[in-house]
Amino acid sequence: IGRGGGQVIPPARRALKASQLTASPVLQEPVYSIVVYFPRWSFQSVSSLLQELRAEILTTLASSSSSLSLSSSSSSSSSPSFLCIHALLPASESLGFTSELKRRTEHKGKIEWTFHGWRNVEGNCLDEKSYPGRIVAHLRQTKGLPLSIPPLEKYVE
């Protein structure tokens, strides 16, 4: 018995969509590896900025490098005048980061970025109230799809 595309494609499509829903899907986002140099006095402000932007702080180091200092006078104290934070920053949160860093450090902060890779977005993308669920709803809206993901029962007989 010959089967045409009209008989094969619809059940194959339903099986594929059902398997995607039952596979515990996750969203991934691009992440930058950033190194931020800033004056010691602005530590609280810079670390709170990184937390607001969902950055994952990996290390914090002290630096007495004079190349980071904008003034020509050297520090007389033995404690380093600059700190360095190495963190992972989601690319979606990076817009405006440099200008906000400059504002919070009175233009004394410096940043270096490189693309680090991809990481999973925390949360369930099938839950409309979670952060990844809101991203999915926004993407579905821009594509003209219904905001909610169809339930599994629609695809399983």
Q: For residue range 24-50, list pLDDT tens digits in order.
A: 899 999 999 999 999 999 999 999 999
pTM for the whole structure = 0.74
**C-alpha span between 63 and 75 (Å, rounded):** 12
Please say whether the beta carbons of 105 and 91 come within 8 A. no
First to last CA, the chain: 24
Q: Which domain holds residue 37?
A: 28-120
Is the residue at 17 inside a domain? no
Is the residue at 108 inside a domain? yes
- Report the number of distinct structural domains present in the chain: 1
What CATH number should be reported for the domain holding residue 50? 3.30.70.240
pLDDT value at residue 76: 45
Nearby residues of 45 by Cβ (< 8 Å), 6 or more positions away: 104, 105
60: left (phi over 0), alpha (psi -120 to 50) or beta: beta
**C-alpha span between 43 and 45 (Å, rounded):** 5
